[in-house]
Chains A and B, each alone.
Chain A
């Protein structure tokens, strides 16, 4: 079974803090994604990575950066957290060999920025 884990389920931070969200997958997947999920807006892609040290901007990259130093780990960084970054953050992974576009998701991190 594919397992995608995220470092925290709930996180409360203050405006201006630097925030790290960690994601680890155990199935040797090439591709990893960070989304944020807000009511009525669905999942919006922040960044994705198709290989170690490679990254591509998604639809809403502003205010975020990412790091992928190892194949299994993909980190999302909020350089200076703001209240409008309060959201549910979901990490996902998929293999290039998969024909079904199936993305495997972690349980999510609910981030509150005060």
Chain B
């Protein structure tokens, strides 16, 4: 079993839809949780960063962490075609430690 599980998709939604992307993990020691976005033929870029449990909002994006369930989510409101990309979750034990990545979910937002 992989340490971090993520549905590979592809997930296809119409423009304007609310998107929910999820990861589950097995190691309860993870404290820092991230979402990276990777456009086609590009390297990943950090999108959201959260520490421990709770929600964090940034514009149309909300990151949610539920440590009791070992489950993290990324919500995208009013999705746009420009949101079409692969979304990778990542997590680590302490600041400065190596990241463990999920497999990535490919999202397609259709106009």
The listed residue with most B CB atoms (<10 A of its CB), out of A39, A100, A103, is A103
Beta-carbon contact of A42 and B88 below 8 Å: yes
- State the main secondary structure of chain B at its contact with A: loop
* Stretch from B36-44, B53-61, B72-80 forming part of the interface with A: B36-44
Number of contact residues on B: which range applies? 20 to 34
Q: Shortest Cβ distance from B74 into chain A, in angstroms?
A: 15
Binary interface encoding of chain B residues 25-55 relative to chain A, with 1 for a CB under 8 A from any of its CBs, else 0: 0000000101000000111111001000000
**Which of B4, B43, B49, B101 makes the CB contact (< 8 A) with A100?**
B49
Q: Give the shortest distance, in Å, between A25 (CB) and chain B (any CB).
A: 12
Task: Establish whether residues B97 and A101, one from each chain, have CB atoms under 8 Å apart when the complex forms.
Answer: yes
- Taken together as a complex, chains A and B put the C-alpha atoms of A105 and B37 apart, in Å, by 11
Contact indicator per residue, chain A 43-70, by CB within 8 Å of chain B (1) or not (0): 1110010000000001000000000000
Question: Judging by beta carbons under 8 Å apart, are A42 and B92 in contact?
Answer: no
Interface residues of A (CB under 8 A from B): 4, 9, 39-45, 48, 58, 90, 92, 96, 99-103, 105-108
